A and B are shown apart, each in its own frame.
Chain A
Amino acid sequence: MLTDITLGQYFPGNSPIHNMDARVKIVLLFIYIVAVFLFDNHINYGIMTAGAIGVVLLSGLPVGTVLKSIKPLWWIILFSFGIHLFSTPGEPIFKVWNFVMTKEGIIQGFIISLRLVLMIAISSLLMFTTSPLKLTDALESLMSPLKKIGFPAHELAMMMTIAMRFIPTLLEETDKIIKAQQSRGSDIGDGNFFQRAKGMIPVLVPLFISAFRRADELAIAMEARCYQGGVDRTRMKQQRLHDVDFWAGGIFSVFLISLIVVQFTL
């Protein structure tokens, strides 16, 4: 069923990772990803993997759920592994026609795959442990310095919040409309390409109409509450740093310093 899809993907919880300020999480994630692509010492890969595993365990999420997030990108990982396998010059192990598989290729392919896996796993951990609302609030706050050069940080964050808020609603609506039309004997998703495309019309037309209706209603509701974007808005939930954020920052600094030390001494 359509509504069975988890979007937004937030798993409520009470772990230190959940409780961290979203801004801190985003900044640390950003630095981590840069680190993953910057440091190429083998011991460092070990440290970074250990760090990732540690954070996942600390979040208290089922490990399977985090691993599942890698699934959609599985083919990209496999593809880049393959490319590196055959395109890295070095000691040949195996030859098929014009393609030479090298020992360096295996290592390089493995490293690239590991980098991708780490990046995806940690990014999805951010999505899993942060509610979409907090996430957009954090993005707005991180982007707010750009307001000085006329960048519409608040409006952008508001649009993202609204879009995310309505994804489940529209999915539910789509599901309802599909079922209603199926009850009228329509075979959605059957037949050849043209028949299927034509079969989408009875779903898309009502869906668009209802999306516009909802947008209209929301706009009126916001106006009725005298909504005015951007300027001097206060928040119900102020974003404040807590102990857990300083701890996270401290631990992450130690992690980062050890990466740098290993990189330049070994």
Chain B
Amino acid sequence: MSIELKNISYTYMPKTPFEHLALDDISITIPEGKITAIAGHTGSGKSTLIQHFNGLLKPNKGTILVDGVDIGKKNTEAKAARRKVGIVFQYPEYQLFEETIAKDIAFGPRNIGCSEDETQERVKQAMDFVNLDYDKYAHRSPFQLSGGQKRRAAIAGILALQPKYLVLDEPTAGLDPKGRESLMEKFRRLHKEKGTTIVLISHNMDNIASYADNVIILNKGKVTMEATPEEAFSQKELISQAGLELPEVKTIMNELAQNGLEIQNNAYTMDKAVEEIIEALRRKGKC
């Protein structure tokens, strides 16, 4: 099962002088149980695209299937399918509104009709997952938290919905490197422990390199590449055409290869790169 987009086109403000074709005939598949990254420059249509995943935007053309169900329909089956997809928007902390953190996280589960016990259980789980101590924070106002904590509380609000597909739009924007890493690790854990399918929207290629199983690259509303990170990062031209940069590790490896070190040059994460360099040096007899 998967999220399947078939020939999706979307136009902003049609039939006005401001008409803008944001998505142009996009067909992609988000496979279940994987981490798929969607990368693209500002204005490439990333954010527009993900809003189609749970029916927030309706395409002008094309259909979206979540686990084989057309979510454009108006029946209960389509509604249930839409609810399988949880979206964490950019800067999700700006959507907090309740008096207490626990109430805010409970907003989602209550909306989808969870019982009170179930809701409380989900709130506890979600808070635990994002490292917000329930006893300490549950009854505090979300507006007393620090920026990073607010972000985590807001993400807990989506996690409490227990989505099968979790879409993250630039989840680490505006966080410090440490916060970035610990947040990404949490998503990785979620993926491993619960098998949640993750869609990661980012233009940070380093993030994509270390977490994604698949990469989809968007450029001006079109899909220019759908590949594994390894394949994607070997096509330097396509990446730079899309206004993106290679991961730092890959750039360094390319430089090394150009300057005569005989490496395989498949690595794009730090650990693999270190292995390859050591191996290359060993072959040269220097190590």
Shortest C-beta distance, B101 to chain A (Å), equals: 14
Say if the beta carbon of A192 comes within 8 Å of chain B.
Answer: no
B94 CB contact (under 8 Å) in A3, A177, A187:
A177
Pick the interface stretch among A47-55, A149-157, A204-212, A216-224. A204-212
Contact A177 B16 (CB under 8 A): no
Given contacts A180-B95, A202-B107, A206-B95, contact A185 B83 (CB under 8 A): yes
Asked if A202 and B89 sit within 8 Å, CB to CB, the answer is no
- Residues of chain B with a CB closer than 8 A to A181's CB: 95, 107
- Tell which of B16, B18, B83, B89 touches A176, judged by Cβ atoms closer than 8 Å: B89
Query: Of A3, A4, A182, which is within 8 A of B56 by CB?
Result: A182
Which residues of B lie under 8 Å from residue A42 when comparing CB positions? none
- How close is A140's CB to chain B, nearest CB, in angstroms? 28
- Establish whether residues A202 and B112, one from each chain, have CB atoms under 8 Å apart when the complex forms: no
CB interface residues, B 105-162, toward A, < 8 Å: 107-108, 111-112, 143, 157-158, 161
A4 to B16, CA, bound (A): 10
- Tell me, yes or no, whether A238 is within 8 Å of chain B by CB: no
Q: Does A179 contact B (CB under 8 A)?
A: yes
Q: Are A205 and B97 in contact (CB under 8 A)?
A: yes
Is A184 an interface residue when CB atoms closer than 8 A count as contact? yes
Cβ–Cβ < 8 Å partners of A4 in chain B: 12-13
Number of interface residues of A (CB under 8 A): 23
* B224 contacts chain A at the CB level, 8 A cutoff: no
Taking CB atoms and an 8 Å cut-off, the chain A residues in 125-144 that contact chain B are: none
Q: Are B111 and A186 in contact (CB under 8 A)?
A: yes
Cβ-defined contact, B97 with A185, below 8 A: no
Q: Does B100 contact A (CB under 8 A)?
A: no
Among residues of B, the one whose C-beta sits closest to the C-beta of A4 is: B13
Flag whether A6 is at the interface (Cβ < 8 A): yes
Q: Does A167 contact B (CB under 8 A)?
A: no
Q: Shortest Cβ distance from A13 into chain B, in angstroms?
A: 10
How distant is A12 from chain B, measured CB to nearest CB, in Å? Answer: 9
Do residues A206 and B97 form an inter-chain contact, with CB atoms below 8 A? yes
A210: chain B residues within 8 A (beta carbon): 94
Whether a CB of chain A sits under 8 angstroms from the CB of B96 is yes
Are B89's CB and A183's CB within 8 A?
yes
At the interface, yes or no: B92 with Cβ under 8 Å from chain A? yes
Q: Does A227 lie at the interface of the complex (its beta carbon under 8 Å from any beta carbon of B)?
A: no
Whether B17 and A184, one on each chain, are in contact in the complex, defined by CB atoms closer than 8 angstroms, is no
In this assembly, does B54 line the interface, its C-beta being within 8 Å of a C-beta of chain A? yes
Nearest Cβ distance between residue B50 and chain A, in whole angstroms? Answer: 10
Min CB–CB distance B61 → chain A (angstroms): 17
Query: Contact at A184–B157, with CB atoms within 8 Å?
Result: yes
**A201 on the B face (CB < 8 A):** yes
A166 at the interface (CB under 8 A from B): no
Q: Give the CA-CA distance A182 to B86 in the complex, in Å.
A: 10
Q: Which residue of A lies closest to B95 (CB)?
A: A180
When A186-B107, A202-B97, A206-B96 are in contact, do A179 and B89 touch as well, CB less than 8 Å? yes
> Could you tell me if A183 and B107 are in contact, using CB atoms closer than 8 angstroms?
no
* Across-interface contacts of A6 in B (CB, < 8 A): 16, 18
- With contacts A205-B97, A206-B96, A209-B143 known, is A184 near B51, CB below 8 A? no
Q: Is B87 an interface residue (CB 8 A)?
A: yes
A182 to B54, CA, bound (A): 10
Give the complex CA separation of A251 and B97 in angstroms: 57
The answer to whether B87 touches A183 (Cβ under 8 A) is: yes
Q: Min CB distance, B159 to chain A, in Å?
A: 11
What CA separation (Å) do A6 and B83 show in the bound complex? Answer: 32
- Chain A residues in 8 Å Cβ range of B56: 179, 182-183
Q: How far is the CA of A180 from the CA of B17 in the complex (A)?
A: 28
**A11 contacts partner chain B, Cβ-Cβ < 8 Å:** yes
Q: Among B96, B143, B158, which residue has its beta carbon within 8 angstroms of that of A183?
A: B158
Contact across chains for B108 and A184 when beta carbons are under 8 A apart: yes
A185 B112 Cβ-Cβ under 8 A: yes
Q: Nearest chain-A residue to B167 (Cβ)?
A: A183
> Given the complex of chains A and B, what is the CA–CA distance between A210 and B161 in angstroms?
25
Give the CA-CA distance A4 to B12 in the complex, in Å: 7
Q: For residue A209, which residues in chain B have a CB less than 8 angstroms away from its CB?
A: 94, 143
Closest to A178 in B: B56
- Additional A-B contacts beyond A177-B95, A183-B89, A205-B97 (7; CB < 8 A): A176-B94, A179-B89, A185-B83, A185-B108, A186-B107, A202-B95, A202-B107
Residues of A within 8 A of B (CB): 1, 3-4, 6, 11, 173, 176-177, 179-187, 201-202, 205-206, 209-210
Q: Can you list 27 A-B pairs with a CB-CB distance of less than 8 A? A: A3-B12, A4-B12, A4-B13, A6-B18, A11-B17, A176-B89, A176-B94, A179-B56, A180-B87, A180-B94, A183-B56, A183-B89, A183-B158, A184-B158, A184-B161, A185-B83, A185-B108, A185-B111, A185-B112, A185-B161, A202-B95, A202-B97, A205-B97, A206-B94, A206-B95, A209-B94, A209-B143
Interface residues of B (CB under 8 A from A): 12-13, 16-18, 51, 54, 56-57, 83, 86-87, 89, 92, 94-97, 107-108, 111-112, 143, 157-158, 161
Pick the 7 closest A-B CB pairs, nearest first.
A185-B111, A205-B97, A184-B108, A180-B95, A185-B112, A183-B87, A179-B56
